Structure formats: C-alpha cells, structure tokens
Structure 1
Amino acid sequence: MPEIKVLFATSEVAPLIKTGGLADVSGALPAALRAINVDVRVLVPGYPQVMEKMGPHEVVANFPEILGFPPSTLIFSIMGNGVPLLVLDCPMLYQRTGGPYADPTGHDWLDNPVRFGLLSKIAAVLGSRESPLRWHPDLVHCNDWQTGLTGVYLSVAEGAVPNVITIHNLAFQGNFSPRKVQMLHLPPTSFNVNGVELYGNMSFLKAGLYYAYHITTVSPTYAQEIQGETLGFGLQGLLHSRSEDVTGILNGIDTDEWNPESDKYLDSHFGPARMAGKDKNKLALQNRMGLKPEADVPLLGVVSRFTHQKG
C-alpha cells in the first residue's frame, strides 16, 4: 500500500510555539503518523519563536502576488522529532512582539483575519494544482478556526484534494465582519447559511466545518456534546446535520515526552514495576507548594488555563 501524504496545517506546534493543547497535538500527532508510514508535513506561521527555534532550513517557494495578501515565502526545515516543517514566512503579518493571536496587552491582533486567511490560502495552494512544490499531499488536515478558510479556497481550486478539520475547541470560532469576505477574496456566493455566514458574521470555523470532507474532534464524548445546545456555541445545527461526518478520536500523548521512567522534571522516576517514586514526587510537590508534607492526605491538581471554560 503506498504511503499517504498529509499536509497538517496548524497555527501552533510544540515545541516551537505553544499557547495550549493544539500545539501539543500538532507536535505529537504528525510524529506518530510518520511512525506508521504516513508522509506528513506541518505547515505553521513564521512567528518570531518559530523562526528562532527551527533548525537548518531553505526557502522552497515564493508567493509574491496572492490577491489580498502581502508577499510571503515558504521555508522547509525538519523538527527535532524528524517531522518535516513548512514555515510560512510573512514578516508583515507574523514578525511582531506578542503571542500568535494577541498583542502584549492581551488584545487580539486586528489583522487576524488576514494573518490566518493567508495561512488557510497557502494550505489550499499546497493542496491543489497551484502548488509550487514537487511534494503533493493526498489530504489537507486543518485544525481549529485559524485554518478554517482552507476548505473554501480549495472548493474553487483546480485539482484540489479533500480536507479534514479537527475541532480542538469549538468556543473559538474566528468570527469577523462580513466585509472580510471580499477582503480575503472568498467566493462571493460563500457568504450565506450554506457557507461561511454565521449569525450575520463571517466565520472561519463555520467555513471549516461546512467545506470539510470530514470533521474530527478530540474525543468521542466531545463529538456528541458539540451537537447539543449547551456546548454547540451556535454551530450545533450544522454539526448535527453532518453527524455522520463527525468522528471523535481521543487525543493521545507523546509517550517519549510523558514518560515517568525518564521525565527530567520529576524528582523520582517510577514505572509499572516500581511505583515507589510516586510517593516521593507527591512529597516533593507538597514541599515545593509550601504544603505540609503528609503522605496520607489526598493531593489534587489540574493542568489548565485560568478560564471559565475550564471550570
């Protein structure tokens, strides 16, 4: 069986740039796919952190004139885990102080529609006959709203391959003024309920869900929850209508990084055959947090952002 070629488009990838779980998945899943003979390449914006941390690299494509977007280049590198990396370098959009989505004061970048419109556009170019690369994917795997317009651009591209989108967090949708449809040079007919329109706005995520060949989420339970009113965030109708195309796949972990037998951050290593280290780590954490070191007292914790959505 010939290997499958996948373009994995994402707005963040660990360990180069990370704000949350999307980066962890973007770093671990492509590596796991390559281990089972999937030829996957990761496409990510050229933020300062990415440009500084990537290894040896070369420019493999130039995009001087893409309607509605500033000039950009595509840089090829290889991540530490062996996964090929395609960095979208556009200094006008990505080289700035702050985070991937917001400025140093925490306010969203006003040009986010253009920043992630370009990411989506390049993903679509690489997934069609327009691609300047010799490597051509069989599938474009999109992730969250930042790559949501990929399917729209693919819908009008010649020789377009199918695209799949994974919902990591339905609450973040990339909703903007309908004027952005023209600015981003989307098909005029796309701004309707059977397209990118969502309650009067243009929605990146709505576009991704409508135009995707298939939709995945981070767990089977979440796949069901987002089809209801409580966690559907206004998209439950579309998701329910496409329920046969929605699959929940539980996120795995990178077992090399998250290995208690070798984790450099643990005071004491442990494993299935030697569990004593767990007690020592508990006492070490109690001491570090200024708690009374008591082995028989339950110690509870949560790895999460401080946000209402996490409880």
Structure 2
Amino acid sequence: MKILHAASELYPLIKTGGLADVLGALPFAQAEQGDDVRVVLPYYRAVREKLPFTAEVARRDTFGGYVVIRYAQYQNIGLYLIDAPHLYDRYGNPYHNEFYQDYHDNVIRFGILGWAAAAIATGIDPLWGKADVLHAHDWQAGLAPAYLTAWHRRDVKSVFTIHNIAYQGCFYPHHLHDLWLPDWILHTEGAEFHGQISFLKAGLYFADHITTVSPTYAKEITGELGSYGMNGLLQTRLAQGRLSGILNGVDESIWHPATDPELFQQYDLKNINQKVANKTALQERFGLRRQPESLLTVMVSRLTAQKGADFLASSLHEQLAQHADLQFILLGSGAPELENAFRELAATYPQQVGVVIGYDEALAHQLIGGGDVILIPSRFEPCGLTQLYGLKYGTLPLVRKTGGLADTVVNGETGFVFDDANVASLNGAFQAAFATWQQPKQWAALRENAMKQDFSWHKAAQTYQTCYAKL
C-alpha cells in the first residue's frame, strides 16, 4: 500500500512535542511491514541543515508563492520537503517567534502543507504516482482532506489523526480565497467554526476516517467537555463508524533502557539493580541527598494547566514538607507563573528538588531512566508518551485517569492512578506510591509488570493497516 503522511514535525529532524515522536516512528514501522511510505514536511531551516542534499520533484506557483517540492530518501522512507524559504526558513520554533507569538502568516504556511500533501497524494511526483491513503496529522495538515474533496479526488482515501483537539488552527474567513478553496468549503457542513475557518474541523469533516491517539480519548472528545466544540460532528462520525482510537507506541530504537546511550548505566529486567546508578547520578547532578531509599519522582513536561502543573506544585509543597525522603526533579517550560512556582519549590527544598527550565533530550532520557516515579497529572491527555517511556524503563507512572493515561496504566499493577484534577486526589496517589515504596517486594513486582508491557509501534502500525484496508 502507498501511504503518504502529512505533518508539521518529525523527530529527530524537527520537534516541539509528541507529534514529532509519532511521525518519527509510525511511518518507519509501516515501512518495515512492507508498505511504500512517504512523509511530506515543511523544509524548515533546522531540517535544511540536517538534510541539505535533495532532488527536485516539482515547481509550482501557488497561493503561498513559489514552491519547490523536493525529495530525500530518509532511512527506509521517502521524505517530501516543501521548499519555500519565505515561509519556512526561520529561526527556532515552527509555529511562533521568540516571543511566543504565532507567525502572522501561519494560515498560508500550513495551508501550503495541506495543499502540497494533496498534490503529492494525487500524483505531482510522476515517479511515485498516486497514493492509496493520505494520512494527515493535527490541524497543521487539516486542509489536506479538504483539497482532495475540492479537487474531486475520491480515488485517494484520507485519514485525519487528532493528536490534541485543543489546538484547532482557526483563521479569519476571508483567507478561504487566499487558500484557493471554493466558497462551499466554508460552511457549517465543512470547515466553518464560529465564523472562522478551522483547519482542524476541515480535517474532521472531509477525511474519510478520523483517528485519535488512544481509545479513551476517542470517547472523551465526543462529550461536550472534552471536544472543544466539536462534539456534534464527532458524535456523528462515531455513529457512522468513522472515528476510532489507536494507541500510540514506543520507538524502542530510541527508548529502551538496555540500549539507551544517554543513560549513565544501561539496564534491563535481568540486571535491574543497575538502574540505581542512574538515580545516584541524578542526585549528584542536582545536589540532592544521595540516598537510595529516597523516592525520586521526575516530570518531563510542558508547564501548562492541561498538564496539571498548577495543582502538582501545590501538592508537592505539602508532600515535600511531610516526607524528607521524597525527591523531585523537573525538566520543562511553559507558563511563566508555573515556571516560577517550580523555581520557588527548588529554592524552598534545595536538597529535595531540582529544576531545569527548558528542554534537553539527553536529560529527558536520564530522568526517565533514573527516576522511581514519573509524574503525569494531566487534566486531559490524548495519549501521552512519557508514561509509556516510564513503563519501559521501570519508572512507575503516577497519572490522572484520563485519555491514553487511563488506557495504559493500571492502578496498583503497573503504576498509580488518581481520579480528580485536584490536590487532594493527587495527594492520595502520592500516599499510595509511598506505601508501596516501603514494601520492596511489592515495588519490584509492579516494576516488573510495567517493564513487560508491550506498546510497540508495530502493533499500532498493524491497526492502522486494518483501518486503511477498510477504506
């Protein structure tokens, strides 16, 4: 089967979050199963620096200016790169400037991503021809199914995956003509959303099938609270059999404690005692007490209300005061007030807390390898990947019961689960974790269960293959 993925990120070429990890794994797992898989991605400055040698496929004068479609063989997949320096040759983040302000021309930048994906899927590259399935990811690629519909190309089937429905890509309606789309696209039965054009709704409405990144999240987004206004459309798609949840996986070539080059000491279930060397190294780095008996909790996350960072900071103040043997290390960034809250936590408990504001891929691996517990107290979580990494590394997840966290962590068997997004409920989970930590045999049994879980990308790839085949 010929599959074309369209997305705005792909690890390790460009990454801001979990979307990049998915695109850095799923297409490759599909290719290993025998499919002809390609990905279309903007040719950002960071990508250009890593992949300078490409072949020209096509040139077009588009609504976004002059665009060159380039091609590179990347590992075992083909990579199409949208070469438009006036749109993508910018320093830093793909979506916003250094002041966290969205680029004013994002409507065009990601409109071109959708247009290019549809053009490639329908045969702009004569050497590849037409794709069987165009698989678009999140709002940035949401117009791809709309272009297929506008061009009356029912011979290419489309799948749209929601990685986070909170981000919807809404723009002023007058941009419809800037995007070379017909008037009927901007309709309640189409891409219109509260008077604007929504790239996300375009994907939801015009795609042949919609997936989310976990079964529970697929249910949550059909309810009023979890849908961000899209529940009516999603309820219809569910009733039509056109909405399903497919759980993300773990790329074991990158995330496996036995082979991870970023760890201070590699380990697996057979030599699990070597895991403690990673914990000791973290305690030394952050100036924490070097005590194996201390419970080291870690968090690798954006600091937002969605991630529960606000009530986690409040809970930790209570827990750290009560338990001198509790330790906490944070790697993350986000809302300034939340960053300051964790800085204050580190200043108040310097021998128990370490904080790094920012992101460091190597440190992320070291925290997940060296921690005893990984904290993911999200208010909502489409899938989550860090809890899967925690399971793989024997760092037990402590999570809120929502989305993919509910699908992957079993309370008292592979981790600790709490129900409500508040301090009291989270404190209860901390107490459960402490009680288990004080029973070494029970802790070892949970850790073994966690490390034996199978969340490989090959399972997800097989499920997507079934989805495509039905289309």
TM-score (norm 2): 0.63
Question: What is aligned with 1:133?
Answer: 126
- Structure 2 counterpart of 1:145: 139
Which residue of structure 1 aligns with residue 406 of structure 2?
Answer: none
1:270 aligns with: 267
Contact 2:150 2:181 in 1 (8 A): no
RMSD in angstroms over aligned alpha carbons? 1.3
The 3-state SS of whatever aligns with 2:57 is: strand
- Name whichever of 183-192 and 285-294 sits farther off: 285-294
Distance in 1, matches of 2:199 and 2:97, equals: 20
Per the alignment, residue 31 of structure 2 pairs with 34
Question: Counterpart of 1:101?
Answer: 95
**For 1:289-304, what aligned pairs fall within 5 Å after superposition?**
289-304=286-301
Letter in 2 for 1:29: L
The answer to whether residue 233 in structure 2 is matched with residue 238 in structure 1 is yes
**1:217 matches 2:194:** no
Query: Which consecutive residues of structure 1, in runs of 5 or more, have no partner in the other structure?
Result: none
Contact 1:195 1:206 in 2 (8 A): yes
**In 2, Cα distance between equivalents of 1:237 and 1:303:** 34
For residues 183-210 of structure 1, what are the alpha-carbon distances to aligned partners after superposition, in whole Å with 9 as ceiling and x for unaligned?
A: 1121201111100101111100000000
Q: Counterparts of 1:93 and 1:52 in 2: how far apart (Å)? A: 16
Q: After TM superposition, list the pairs within 5 Å mapping 1:90-239 onto structure 2.
A: 90-128=84-122, 131-135=124-128, 136-159=130-153, 160-239=155-234
CA contact (8 A) 1:30 1:41 kept: yes
After TM superposition, give the deviation of residue 97 of structure 1 in Å: 2.2
For the Cα contact (< 8 Å) 1:76–1:84, is it kept in 2? yes
The answer to whether structure 1 residue 57 and structure 2 residue 50 are counterparts is: no
CA distance in 2: counterparts of 1:117 and 1:56, whole angstroms? 25
**Aligned-residue offset at 1:55:** 5.5
Task: Tell me if the contact between 2:5 and 2:40 (Cα under 8 Å) persists in the aligned partners.
Answer: yes
Q: Name which of 281, 305, 308 aligns with 1:308.
A: 305
Q: Secondary structure at the match of 1:303?
A: strand
CA contact (8 A) 2:8 2:141 kept: yes
Q: State yes or no: 1:8 paired with 2:8.
A: no
CA separation in 1, counterparts of 2:152 and 2:228? Answer: 33
- Separation in structure 2 between the aligned mates of residue 286 and residue 70 of structure 1, nearest angstrom: 53
- Give the greater-gyration-radius structure (CA): 2
Deviations 1:89-136 (A, max 9, x none): 00111112231000121100000000000110011111225x243212
Residue type at the aligned position of 2:137: N
TM-score in terms of structure 1 length? 0.94
Mapped contact 1:166–1:216 kept (Cα < 8 A): yes
Answer whether contact 1:215 1:246 (CA < 8 A) is retained. Answer: yes
2:77 to 68, 75, 83: 83
Which SS does the other structure have where 2:65 is aligned? Answer: coil
In structure 1, the residue corresponding to 2:302 is in which secondary structure? coil
Percentage of matched positions with identical amino acids: 43
Partner Cα separation in structure 2 for residue 37 and residue 92 of structure 1: 37
For 1:78 and 1:279, locate their aligned partners in 2 and report how far apart those are by CA, in whole Å: 41
Measure how far apart 1:287 and its partner are: 1.8
Contact 1:144–1:165 at 8 Å: present in 2 too? yes
Structure 2 residue identity aligned to 1:152 = A
SS across alignment from 1:237: helix
More helix by share: 2
Unmatched 5+ stretches in structure 2: 309-471
1:189-241, CA deviations, whole angstroms, 9 ceiling, x for partnerless residues?
Answer: 11111001011111000000000110111111111111112221111111111
- State how many pairs are aligned: 304
Report the Cα distance in structure 1 between the residues aligned to 2:227 and 2:301, rounded to whole angstroms.
21
